[in-house]
Amino acid sequence: MVDFGFGLVPSSRINLDLFDREKFEELAAIEPDMRKCMACGSCTAVCTAGQFIQTSLRAAIEELHNGHPDKALGLLKSCQLCGKCSMVCPRGINTRHLILSIAKVYGNK
């Protein structure tokens, strides 16, 4: 193979074997709208808490897909549940319920 002089940063690697499909399906059963998310970033753009600290529903869902529920919970722990993200979501996702459902499904170890 040709060496192009660059590679993946270890923190950027995705190991799909870490993905917990059973818990993800449990979450989807509680909040089926979660599958509608197209990762547009509207929720992150209007997030009041996100202006001061790192919090992002879009990134949290991505971390769940990548098999990192602890990172996802960390991104959501500062959410104030103000609902601004629900108002701007082009898919009409009940983001508050989704955030609480993620905490319920993945928060218990």
Res 14 pLDDT > 80: no
The confidence band for 12, taking pLDDT boundaries of 50, 70 and 90, is low
Give the torsion sign (CA, 54, 59, 63, 69): positive
pLDDT at 108 over 90: no
Indicate the DSSP class of residue 59: H
Cβ neighbours of 96 (radius 10 Å): 14
Averaged pLDDT for residues 81-97: 94
- Residue 49's Cβ-count burial label (10 Å; 0-12, 13-18, 19+) is middle
Average pLDDT, stretch 58-64? 91
Global pTM value? 0.81
- Residue 42: the pLDDT is 93
**Could you say which DSSP state residue 78 is in?**
T
- What pLDDT, on a 0 to 100 scale, did the predictor assign at position 11? 66
- pLDDT, tens digit, for every residue of 38-56? 989 999 999 988 888 888 8
